[in-house]
Structure 1
Amino acid sequence: MVQHLSRRLFLTGLGSMAISAPALADAPLVSLRPVLRGAQPSGAERIVQAAGLKGEVVFAVADVSTGLQLEEMGGDMGLPPASVAKALTALYALDVLGADHRFETRLLATGAIENGILNGDLILVGGGDPLLDTDDLAKMATALREAGITEVRGAFKVYVGALPYVFSIDPEQPDHVGYSPSISGISLNFNRVHFEWKRSGSTYAVTMDARSAKYRPDVDMATMRVEPRKTPIYTYSRSARQDRWSVARAALGAEGARWLPVRKPGRYAGDVFRTLARANGIVLKDAQITREMPSGKVLVVHQSDPLESILRGMLKYSTNITAEMVGMAASIKRGADIRNLQGSAQEMNRWAAETYGVDRIAMVDHSGLGDMSRMAPGDLVAALVIARKTGALRPLLKPFALTDRQGRVVRDHPIKVDAKTGTLNFVSGLGGFLTTAGGSELAFAIFTADVEHRATIPRSQRERPSGARSWNSRSRKMQRALIERWGALYGS
């Protein structure tokens, strides 16, 4: 009786939703085929047609308890999954590293310590912690002083070899976007540096710092020059020791700030730690970068949060560098000799095939930022169904809100959705789990992409190309309509 009541309430409330009543009345489908001339399109087909999206639309949905596929459109066609890929990366890291895994960042000493003087080198050893920030380094500097170190007579080194170096997660992105930084065995503040400007008369005062909740140390390894031009807004040039940026004066306005990517992670961490050590009375030489595994006496250890907590944050905030670092760490743990991001992604693809029996996942990274990645929605759904039986993933996913026709969130909606969104320009994805009003649990994946149009966008315009916002908005509306359809059709 309770089940019938809840379903009746659900159907009564659908009048204010984007999905139409005729669409909800369609019988469940196993697959959708091209509509014959004169034939009536199904409810799902009408939803897709109403979205008016140029490009491809594919989806799959299955019952979690039985694994039965309920409906699909192009379910074996691979499209770029965008950040929905992070759901697979989370499963990969959990399986290989374990939910309780912690990354360690250490300070090592080579040489004897006498009366507080280290007669050898001090080494900051990165351990692949994706959440290491300035506050953490400050605690390590304080712990070094409390360990009795007052002077370091040898070199100061930063070990970056725990992970391969990657210049940019996706080299096709503009140089200045903070979501495509470099990767190495040490990461600080998601490998982003804070650029702030304020007009003072006819000039600008600019700062480049490694700010965190408690500190904002200036850095020397990143510089900014304001130039009298209109475009390009930013330029980047490499040097041996610095990230050198310039910005167009016409783009600045009175004041503002943004995060820029770091391309020299080891120098960034070394620069910041030197400043924090100096604040504790310990003067260090300029950092030397090393990829050779160090040995020595452990002076200080910083442990990350457990991996499960790291992944929950990754899925909530969709942090690309976190996905790449935990994915690469998992590939190394599996014994793969990875040299770059693509090699690590290929190892994850092999793992997915071994673990879930799927063969239409071809990722080129772990975050989904690279648009050459391909994933079939049917394969992701198959993985989600198996993973759900172990209790993995859904508790880490972010709730996904359903809305009415005016775009307002419907509170206490009878359908409960936990999912990972994914957005690139002219690419949109959604994958995860939904619980119907009647208590049935479904796994689903929806991918949309206009790959041909995306390929025409110049690299310099990929941050905010014309038309991308409206295209992605229509895709999101379609995704919500499909979810409401499935919640009604398979709700009891």
Structure 2
Amino acid sequence: MKHLLSRRYVLTGAVSALATASFADAPLVSLRPTARPGAPAETPIPPIRPQARLSARELIARAGLGGTVGFVVADTQTGEILEEVDGDIAVPPASVTKAVTALYALEALGPDYRFETRVLADGPIVNGVLQGNLILAGGGDPHLVTDQLATLVDQLKNAGLKEVTGEFRIWGDAIARVDEIDDTQLDYLGYNPTVAGLNLNFNRVHFEWKRAGENYTVALDARSETHRPPVTTARMRIVDRTTPVYTYADSNGVDNWTVARRALGSGGSRWLPVRYPALYAGEVFQTFARTAGIVLPKPVLMTQIPQGDVITAFKSDPLREILRDMLRFSTNLTAEVTGLAATAARADQKRGLRTSAFGMTRWAADRAEIDPQFVDHSGLGDQSRIAAGDMVRLLNARDVARQLKPILKPIAMLDDDRERIRDFPATINAKTGTLNFVSSLAGYITTQGGRELAFAFFAADMDAREKGKLSADEQPPGAGSYNGKAKRLQQVLLQRWGRAADL
């Protein structure tokens, strides 16, 4: 479908455009993976040499990870715990939280739920002139992209609209607004945007710079697959300094950024977060309307629930597909929107993020008789806590695997050279999670012998994480090494569980 391609373009487009590693988004979000050019062919399963079986604690010791490492693997039919190390110690689950959010949303909203973005008129249209206000009303759609706003404008044009005598109003209050998912993160990280009832391009704006002699040209736009309209709701100024690389200032509906000249090199690009997503969407809509010959005034925000006749509307994919993409690409905005929408449906009113996360905490506790603590729906905040044993109990709870396993991402098994193992005899479907000095993985295994298992692996060095925050780096020293070691340990354990006949 056209809109699916556009959404994935927004997810992946920034990766190839980054100028240097210093501008790459930090490891809290996994964008769409791409195959490496000239990658070697997949390798067969290496022979298993006869050797004494190492204990789980010996494997952990060999991994050389500081902090806490805990895991649990259990039979999904009987609930029997087959192997466990420190499964009762609660640590930040990072993006494994999204698996909990997916189940929470599915059970509150239903798999076929669709978010709807509407365009309404609160007065009559006479000879192409709307005698009243035109309203762009968001329904919370976390996947809405620029190309879809262009489609809505085309439909307005086809309906004969040419002019509006009243205001062009924007409604973005379908869910509670969240200024930042985690206010301890750096201002410029694109995976920590504002969350609102009208979202566009995952609430990110594309910033691109090119050297022009001694100076630079800069551009800020709302690009998706087909269109790249410029925006003025975000502005960038280059300044002569070494650090910080970026600064942000809120200027009455405009995101004002500065960037250090010395950090720019010859050119590059990155996505920056949007703090006024409704106005951002309104400006893009107005730009398309002007191109289509429809005269619209400057967009203004409205807070009351919009009333009027629907001229045109766009419905998202079904919730199940939105959640499948979320679990694959680990999009924080999608997690927060679906979690907030689920809580609003359960409570029959909007709730703020912390209250909504507490609602999910209570739901999970009742659902599986566990004791987690969530501060958001994405896992971006490191104050969330859950133990590996509790995560496995949730995965093994009644009717959970039926809903969750089909939308979890397949996890490839890799050899010592990080190449995919061809025809590995077990299948793994799971959700990964990564923060600096935090690595997690949880999901399901179908073993070589056909046994169905649920597992959770959590590793966290919170002392190193707190020290890393002081560096103000997206990836502080040692974080990459820690997470690499954790992922290699995950592979060792998964291959051990997948092949073993004697668990």
What TM-score does the superposition give when structure 1 sets the normalisation length?
0.91
> CA 1:269–1:387 in 2, change beyond 3 Å: closer, same or farther?
farther
Q: How does 1:316-327 map to 2 (within 5 A)?
A: 316-327=328-339
2:200 corresponds to 1:166: no
| Residue of 494, 497, 502 corresponding to 1:486 | 497
* 1:298 aligned residue (298, 310, 313): 310
Q: Counterpart amino acid of 2:483?
A: N
Unaligned runs of 5+ in 2: 1-43
Q: The residue matched to 1:108 in structure 2 has which SS?
A: strand
- Which of the residues 225, 244, 247 maps onto 1:213? 225
Aligned-partner Cα distance in 2 for 1:460–1:277? 45
Question: Does residue 14 in structure 1 map to residue 31 in structure 2?
Answer: no
The C-alpha deviation readout for 1:130-153, integer Å capped at 9, x for no partner, is 000001100001111111111011
Query: Which residue matches 1:30?
Result: none
Contact 2:45–2:421 (8 Å) recurs in 1: no
Partner of 2:407: 396
**For 1:61, which of 61, 73, 78 is the aligned residue?**
73
- Tell me how large the CA RMSD over aligned residues is: 1.7
Equivalent in the alignment of 1:92: 104
**TM-aligned CA deviation for residue 270 of structure 1:** 0.7
Asked whether the 8 Å contact 2:434–2:483 carries over to 1, the reply is: yes
Structure 2 residue 64 is matched with structure 1 residue 52: yes
1:129 equivalent to 2:141? Answer yes
> Which region of structure 1 is more displaced relative to structure 2, 203-212 or 349-358?
349-358
Q: Give the partner amino acid of 1:416.
A: T
What is the distance in 2 between the residues matched to 1:168 and 1:13? 49
Question: Does the 8 Å CA contact 1:336/1:347 hold for their aligned counterparts?
Answer: no
TM-fit CA distance, 1:193: 0.1
Q: Percent identity?
A: 50
Could you tell me which residue of structure 1 aligns to residue 416 of structure 2? 405
Q: CA 1:387–1:368 in 2, change beyond 3 Å: closer, same or farther?
A: farther
Cα distance in structure 1, aligned partners of 2:318 and 2:190 = 25
The answer to whether the 8 Å contact 1:388/1:394 transfers is: no
Q: Give 5+ residue unaligned stretches, structure 1.
A: 1-9, 24-41
Residue deviations 1:324-381 (CA, integer Å, cap 9, x gap): 00010000000165542111111111111222222x2111001100000001111111
Shift of 1:292: 1.4
Separation in 2, partners of 1:148, 1:334? 40
User: What does 1:166-245 correspond to in 2, within 5 Å?
Assistant: 166-245=178-257
Equivalence map 1:436-475=2 (5 Å): 436-458=447-469, 461-475=472-486
Residues 21-40 of structure 1: pairs in structure 2 closer than 5 A: 21-23=51-53
- In structure 2, the CA distance between the partners of 1:115 and 1:82, relative to structure 1 (3 Å rule), is same
Is this contact kept in 1: 2:139–2:198, CA < 8 A? yes
| Alignment coverage as a number of residue pairs | 460
1:261-317 CA distance string (max 9 Å, x none): 001111101111100111111121111112211111111110000011101110110
- 1:45-94 CA deviation, whole Å, 9 max, x = no partner? 11111111110011111101212122222212210000111111111111
Q: Over alpha carbons, which structure has the higher Rg?
A: 1
- CA deviations on 1:188-210 (whole Å, 9 max, x unpaired) are 00000000011111111110000
* Alpha carbons 1:127, 1:185 under 8 Å: kept: yes
Give the secondary structure class of the aligned counterpart of 1:111. coil
Matching residue within 424, 429, 444 for 1:418: 429
By how many angstroms is 1:484 displaced? Answer: 2.1
| Equivalent pair of 1:387/1:393 in contact (CA under 8 Å) | no
Query: Is the alpha carbon distance of 1:247 and 1:12 closer, same or farther for their aligned partners in structure 2, counting shifts above 3 Å?
Result: closer
- Indicate the residue corresponding to 1:78 in structure 2: 90
CA distance in 2, matches of 1:307, 1:176: 29
Q: 2:161 and 2:398 mapped to 1: Cα distance?
A: 48
State the shift of 1:257 in Å.
0.7
Offset, 1:387 = 5.5
d(CA) in 1 for partners of 2:468, 2:316:
39
SS in structure 2 opposite 1:386?
Answer: coil
For residues 357 and 288 of structure 2, what CA distance do their matches in structure 1 show? 36
Residues 390 and 44 of structure 1: is their aligned pair in 2 closer, same or farther, counting only changes over 3 Å?
closer
| Distance in structure 2 (CA, Å) of the matches to 1:304 and 1:490 | 44
**SS of equivalent to 1:392:** helix
| Secondary structure of 1:391's aligned partner | helix
Cα separation, 1, equivalents of 2:452 and 2:63: 26
Which of residues 265, 270, 275 in structure 1 aligns to 2:287?
Answer: 275
Report how far residue 491 of structure 1 moved. Answer: 6.0
Which amino acid counterpart does residue 95 of structure 1 have in structure 2? E
Q: Secondary structure at the match of 1:22?
A: coil
How far does residue 490 in structure 1 lie from its aligned partner after superposition? 4.5
User: 2 CA distance for matches of 1:44 and 1:54?
Assistant: 16
Contact 1:173–1:459 (CA under 8 A) maintained in structure 2: no
- AA at the equivalent of 1:84: V
Alpha-carbon distance between aligned partners in 1 of 2:391 and 2:501, rounded to the nearest angstrom: 20
Alignment match of 2:323 (pick from 297, 301, 311):
311
Aligned AA (1:199): R
Partner SS for 1:298: strand
